[in-house]
Amino acid sequence: MVPRWSRTLGNLYRHSKSGINRDLYVLPCRRISRIAAVEVPEASHVSARTEVNLNKIFRSKPCSLALPPESPMRIEEPTYRGLRHFLLKMMLFYSKQSKCIRQANVIYRRVVSQADKPAIYDAFRLEKTFRTNFSILVVHMWLCLRRLKAEGKEGVELGQYVYEIYNHDLETRVSKAGVNLLLSKWMRELEKVFYGNIVAFETAMLPEAKHDDLQNAIWKNVFAEDGSSELDANALPAVLAFTRYVRRECICLSLTDKEAMFSGNFMFTSLDNPKP
């Protein structure tokens, strides 16, 4: 049985006023790094064009991430008539559960699309390994689940479907990374990491949080290879940029209407460099 992701945030809000531990970062980096890395060229620097593009993004006014009606990237619910409609209705294609599963699949595809883009690793000086890819995936899952939860019970229920799809996909990713033995153990470890990360990020977004709490959470859970709490000065520009990106996406998602979120017809901010 897949656990409910909403329980963690529920517990967080119940205990936040009683002094939640600000060092709650569950990221066994060294153990995760033992999974075979996804080898790609190391992003040792950020090009001038990338820095210019990031500056343009951060200077621009936050806006809705909903795809416009004419966008070719929109995915609409299929419409059928006549006998096909009748047969699909009999097969529960139009049931609430079936519709939620289709919506959740589209939402998760948007998350994966952003987390797997090479541009995000280049922009924030990250080497693409299993660990960093997983960390970026969790950040964008948190952003989506957080926005869905804002819509109340209906959003929480849809978020649970997204979380279940994420779990199935993660199991495939772990297998492809070379883990064939003790897979269930690895999945339990990654589940702890997931919950630890979203608690850390959500704690950093609380009204009483310190200004640098989110920055520290991102450093520990995305950038730090060994989970160190001491921020590396060389990584500071990239960490600050990623923190600004996360805060901006939070605002943009809050401006994205319910219909766009529930149908999956939204896109995270593009980090791709414009063609010269």
Structure token digits, residue 173: 């990713």
Q: Name the residue among 85, 190, 198, 205 with its Cα closest to residue 140.
A: 198
Q: Per residue of the chain (276 residues), give pLDDT as tens.
A: 556 656 555 544 444 444 434 343 434 444 444 444 444 334 434 455 566 677 778 888 999 999 999 999 999 988 888 888 788 778 877 788 999 999 999 999 999 999 999 999 999 999 999 999 999 999 999 999 999 999 999 999 999 999 999 999 999 988 887 776 678 888 899 999 999 999 999 999 999 999 999 999 999 999 998 767 788 889 999 999 999 999 999 999 999 999 999 999 999 999 876 444
The per-residue DSSP string of 112-154 comes to HHHHT-HHHHHHTT----HHHHHHHHHHHHHHHHHHHHTTTHH
Residue 266 pairs with which residues in a beta bridge?
66
Structure token digits, residue 84: 């096909």
pLDDT score at 51? 65
CA dihedral in degrees (220, 248, 132, 117; nearest 10)? -170
Whether the CB-CB separation of 27 and 227 falls below 8 Å is answered with: yes
Q: Torsions phi, psi of 45, nearest 5? A: -155, 165
Measured between alpha carbons, how far is 215 from 211 in angstroms, rounded to an integer? 8
Locate tokens 């980090």: which residue? Answer: 271
Q: Name the residue among 193, 173, 166 with its Cα closest to residue 8.
A: 193
What global pTM score does this model have?
Answer: 0.82
Measured between alpha carbons, how far is 86 from 97 in angstroms, rounded to an integer? 18
